[in-house]
Chains A and B, each alone.
Chain A
Amino acid sequence: MPAFISGFDEQNKRISTQHLLQKIYAALDRGETEFEVLASGHHDIGGPLWTTDGRPLKFTVRNPGQRVGSFGLEGTEIVVEGPAPADVGWLNAGATLTLKGDGGDTTGHCSASGKIYVGGRAGTRTGSLMKHDPSYDAPELWILKNTGSFSFEFMGGGIAVVCGYDSEQFESVLGDRACIGMVGGTIYVRGPVEGLSKQVWLLDLDEADREFLLSNMPVFLEKIGRPQLLAELTDLSRWKKIVAMTWEERQRQDRITMKEFRTRKWVEGGIFGDVVEDDYERVVNFVNAGEDRLKVPHWQNKLFGAPCQTACPTGIPTQDRINLLRQGKVKEALELVLTYSPFPASVCGQVCPNLCKDACSRQFIDHPVAMQELGRLSQEAAAPEKKPATGKKVAIIGGGPGGLSAAWQLSLLGHGVTLFEGDREVGGKLRQAIPMERLPREILDSEINRIKKMGTDIRTSQKIDKETFESLQADYDVLVIASGAHNPVVIPFPGHERLKKGLDFLKAINNGEKPKVGRKVVVIGAGNAGMDVALGAYAMGADKVVAIDVQRPAAYQKEIDHFTALGGEIQWPVFTERIDGNGLHTKDGRLIEADTVIISIGERPDLSYVPREWLTDRGMMDVSECWQSVRNAKVFAIGDTIKPGLLTHAIAGGREVAEYIDAYLNGWELVPRKKPEMIPQEKLSRELFMPQNRGRFRVTDAKNEVHRCLSCGTCRDCSMCLETCPEGAIVRTEKEDGTAEYTSDDRYCIGCGICAGICPCGVWAMEKMIV
Chain B
Amino acid sequence: METVKINDLACNDLPWKVLYDTKRCTLCGSCVAACTFGAIKPKVERRRKSFSDTETPEPKITFSATPVITQVNILKHFCRGCGVCERVCPNNAIRSERNPDSRFNVVYQATTASGPKRGGRNNLEVQARTLDTIRVGRISQMTDPSLDAERHTFDCLAPLGRVLPATKLPFTLGPDGKLTKSGQTPPLHWIYPIIIGDMSIGALSWRMWEAVSMAVAYLNEECGLPVRQCSGEGGMPVRLLKSKYLKYVILQIASGHFGWNRIIKAMPHMVEDPGGVLIKIGQGAKPGDGGLLMAAKVASHIQSIRGVPKTDLLSPPNHQGLYSIEESVQKMFLSFNAAFKFRVPVAIKVAASATSVSVFNNLVRDPYNIVGGFFLDGIDGGTGAAHDISLDHTGHPVVSKLRDCYLAACAQGRQGQIPLWAAGGLGKTGNLAADAFKMFCLGANGVFTGKLMLQLAGCLGNEHSRCNACNTGLCPAGITTQEPLLVRRLDPDRVAENIVNYFLGVDKELRKLMAPIGNSSLPVGRSDCLISTDKAVADRLQVQYVC
A→B interface (CB under 8 Å): 150, 153, 177, 180-181, 255-259, 261-262, 265-267, 269-278, 280, 282-288, 292-295, 364, 685, 687-691, 724, 726-727, 750-754, 756-758, 768-771
Known: A750-B33, A753-B33. 18 other contacts (CB 8 A): A255-B222, A261-B496, A266-B214, A266-B245, A267-B243, A270-B210, A274-B239, A275-B206, A275-B305, A284-B485, A286-B33, A292-B485, A292-B488, A689-B65, A690-B48, A754-B42, A754-B67, A757-B42
Contact A278 B240 (CB under 8 A): no
Decide: A770 near B488, CB < 8 A? Known: A271-B237, A757-B67.
Answer: no
Specify which of A278, A292, A754, A768 is in contact with B32 (CB 8 Å cutoff): A754
Contact B237 A272 (CB under 8 A): yes
Contact B44 A258 (CB under 8 A): no
Q: Nearest-CB distance from A321 to chain B (Å)?
A: 25
Q: In the complex, which residue of chain B has the Cβ closest to the Cβ of A755?
A: B42
Contact B27 A754 (CB under 8 A): yes
Give every chain B residue within 8 A of A270 (Cβ-Cβ). Answer: 210, 239
Give every chain B residue within 8 A of A267 (Cβ-Cβ). Answer: 239-240, 243, 245
Give every chain B residue within 8 A of A150 (Cβ-Cβ). Answer: 151
Task: Give the distance in Å from the alpha carbon of A429 to the alpha carbon of B48 in the complex.
Answer: 48
Give every chain A residue within 8 A of B67 (Cβ-Cβ). Answer: 724, 754, 757-758
Task: Give the distance in Å from the alpha carbon of A607 to the alpha carbon of B7 in the complex.
Answer: 52
Q: Nearest-CB distance from A302 to chain B (Å)?
A: 22
Give every chain B residue within 8 A of A753 (Cβ-Cβ). Answer: 29, 32-33, 41-42
Contact B29 A180 (CB under 8 A): no
B489 beta carbon closer than 8 Å to chain A? yes
Contact B30 A687 (CB under 8 A): no
Q: Nearest-CB distance from A129 to chain B (Å)?
A: 12
Q: Nearest-CB distance from B452 to chain A (Å)?
A: 19
Q: In the complex, which residue of chain B has the Cβ closest to the Cβ of A176?
A: B153
Give every chain A residue within 8 A of B88 (Cβ-Cβ). Answer: 286-287
Contact A272 B206 (CB under 8 A): yes
> What would 13 A/B residue contacts be, using CB atoms closer than 8 Å?
A181-B150, A255-B222, A261-B214, A271-B237, A272-B209, A282-B488, A286-B30, A724-B27, A724-B67, A752-B30, A753-B29, A753-B32, A753-B33
Give every chain B residue within 8 A of A689 (Cβ-Cβ). Answer: 65
Give every chain A residue within 8 A of B213 (Cβ-Cβ). Answer: 271
Task: Report which residue of A180, A271, A274 has the largest number of chain B beta carbons within 10 angstroms of its beta carbon.
Answer: A271
Contact B151 A752 (CB under 8 A): no
Contact A286 B489 (CB under 8 A): yes
Task: Give the distance in Å from the alpha carbon of A295 to the alpha carbon of B35 in the complex.
Answer: 10
Q: Nearest-CB distance from A82 to chain B (Å)?
A: 30
Contact A280 B492 (CB under 8 A): yes
Q: Nearest-CB distance from B293 to chain A (Å)?
A: 14
Decide: A256 near B30, CB < 8 A? Known: A180-B151, A272-B237, A758-B42.
Answer: no
B276 beta carbon closer than 8 Å to chain A? no
Decide: A295 near B33, CB < 8 A? Known: A181-B151, A691-B48, A769-B485.
Answer: yes
B433 beta carbon closer than 8 Å to chain A? no
Contact B489 A284 (CB under 8 A): yes
B487 beta carbon closer than 8 Å to chain A? yes
Q: In the complex, which residue of chain B has the Cβ closest to the Cβ of A180?
A: B151
Task: Give the distance in Å from the alpha carbon of A180 to the alpha carbon of B305 in the complex.
Answer: 50
Contact B44 A685 (CB under 8 A): yes
Task: Give the distance in Å from the alpha carbon of A770 to the alpha carbon of B296 in the complex.
Answer: 10
Contact B28 A286 (CB under 8 A): no
B84 beta carbon closer than 8 Å to chain A? yes
Task: Give the distance in Å from the alpha carbon of A83 to the alpha carbon of B256 in the complex.
Answer: 74
Give every chain B residue within 8 A of A295 (Cβ-Cβ). Answer: 33
Q: In the complex, which residue of chain A has the Cβ closest to the Cβ of B206?
A: A272
Task: Give the distance in Å from the alpha carbon of A272 to the alpha carbon of B240 in the complex.
Answer: 8
Contact A275 B301 (CB under 8 A): yes
Specify which of A278, A285, A768 is in contact with B487 (CB 8 Å cutoff): A278
Give every chain B residue within 8 A of A259 (Cβ-Cβ). Answer: 493
Decide: A770 near B151, CB < 8 A? Known: A267-B239, A294-B33.
Answer: no
1/0 per position for B484-505, CB-CB distance to A under 8 A?
1111111111101100100000
Give every chain B residue within 8 A of A752 (Cβ-Cβ). Answer: 28-30, 32-33, 42
Task: Give the distance in Å from the alpha carbon of A286 to the alpha carbon of B87 in the complex.
Answer: 9
Q: In the complex, which residue of chain A has the Cβ closest to the Cβ of B244?
A: A267
Give every chain A residue within 8 A of B493 (Cβ-Cβ). Answer: 257-259, 262, 280
Decide: A258 near B214, CB < 8 A? Known: A274-B239, A751-B33, A753-B42.
Answer: yes
Give every chain A residue within 8 A of B84 (Cβ-Cβ). Answer: 286
Contact A275 B42 (CB under 8 A): no
B186 beta carbon closer than 8 Å to chain A? no
B269 beta carbon closer than 8 Å to chain A? no
Contact A273 B239 (CB under 8 A): yes
Contact A770 B486 (CB under 8 A): yes
Q: In the complex, which residue of chain A has the Cβ closest to the Cβ of B26?
A: A726
B325 beta carbon closer than 8 Å to chain A? no
Give every chain B residue within 8 A of A278 (Cβ-Cβ). Answer: 206-207, 484, 487
Give every chain A residue within 8 A of B237 (Cβ-Cβ). Answer: 271-272, 274-275
Task: Give the distance in Å from the alpha carbon of A689 to the alpha carbon of B65 in the complex.
Answer: 8
Q: In the complex, which residue of chain B has the Cβ closest to the Cβ of A273?
A: B239
Q: Nearest-CB distance from A490 to chain B (Å)?
A: 43
Task: Give the distance in Å from the alpha carbon of A292 to the alpha carbon of B34 in the complex.
Answer: 11
Give every chain A residue within 8 A of B151 (Cβ-Cβ). Answer: 150, 153, 177, 180-181
**B residues 481-525 in Cβ contact with A at 8 Å:** 483-494, 496-497, 500
Contact B45 A265 (CB under 8 A): no
Q: Nearest-CB distance from A203 to chain B (Å)?
A: 23
B12 beta carbon closer than 8 Å to chain A? no
Contact B240 A271 (CB under 8 A): yes
Task: Give the distance in Å from the alpha carbon of A284 to the alpha carbon of B84 in the complex.
Answer: 14
Task: Give the distance in Å from the alpha carbon of A754 to the alpha carbon of B221 in the complex.
Answer: 50
Q: In the complex, which residue of chain B has the Cβ closest to the Cβ of A153?
A: B151
Contact A283 B490 (CB under 8 A): yes
Give every chain A residue within 8 A of B464 (Cβ-Cβ). Answer: none
Give every chain B residue within 8 A of A286 (Cβ-Cβ). Answer: 30, 33-34, 84, 87-88, 476, 489
Task: Give the distance in Å from the alpha carbon of A255 to the alpha carbon of B218 in the complex.
Answer: 10
Task: Give the distance in Å from the alpha carbon of A55 to the alpha carbon of B42 in the complex.
Answer: 93
Give every chain B residue within 8 A of A283 (Cβ-Cβ). Answer: 488-491, 494
Specify which of B238, B245, B494 is in contact with A274 (CB 8 Å cutoff): B238
Task: Give the distance in Å from the alpha carbon of A462 to the alpha carbon of B151 in the complex.
Answer: 118
Q: In the complex, which residue of chain A has the Cβ closest to the Cβ of B299?
A: A276
For the complex of A and B, the 10 pairs showing the least CB-CB separation, nearest first, are A752-B29, A757-B42, A275-B301, A286-B34, A687-B46, A271-B237, A687-B44, A752-B33, A283-B491, A271-B240
Give every chain A residue within 8 A of B492 (Cβ-Cβ). Answer: 262, 280
Decide: A262 near B28, CB < 8 A? Known: A283-B490, A757-B67.
Answer: no
Contact B150 A275 (CB under 8 A): no
B532 beta carbon closer than 8 Å to chain A? no
Give every chain B residue within 8 A of A768 (Cβ-Cβ). Answer: 38
1/0 per position for B64-78, CB-CB distance to A under 8 A?
010100000000000
Contact B150 A727 (CB under 8 A): no
Q: Nearest-CB distance from B136 to chain A (Å)?
A: 24
Give every chain A residue within 8 A of B201 (Cβ-Cβ). Answer: 272
Contact B474 A770 (CB under 8 A): yes
Contact A284 B223 (CB under 8 A): no
Give every chain B residue within 8 A of A273 (Cβ-Cβ). Answer: 239
B199 beta carbon closer than 8 Å to chain A? no
Give every chain B residue within 8 A of A770 (Cβ-Cβ). Answer: 36, 474, 483, 485-486
Task: Report which residue of B84, B239, B474 has the largest number of chain A beta carbons within 10 angstroms of its beta carbon.
Answer: B239
Task: Give the distance in Å from the alpha carbon of A174 to the alpha carbon of B217 in the complex.
Answer: 34
B323 beta carbon closer than 8 Å to chain A? no
Q: In the complex, which residue of chain B has the Cβ closest to the Cβ of A752?
A: B29
B304 beta carbon closer than 8 Å to chain A? yes
Q: In the complex, which residue of chain B has the Cβ closest to the Cβ of A269?
A: B239
Task: Report which residue of B153, B243, B476, B485 has the largest number of chain A beta carbons within 10 angstroms of its beta carbon.
Answer: B485
B129 beta carbon closer than 8 Å to chain A? no
Q: In the complex, which residue of chain B has the Cβ closest to the Cβ of A750?
A: B33
B43 beta carbon closer than 8 Å to chain A? yes
Contact B42 A284 (CB under 8 A): no
Task: Give the distance in Å from the alpha carbon of A768 to the alpha carbon of B151 in the complex.
Answer: 57
Task: Give the distance in Å from the alpha carbon of A261 to the alpha carbon of B496 in the complex.
Answer: 10
Task: Give the distance in Å from the alpha carbon of A285 to the alpha carbon of B485 in the complex.
Answer: 10
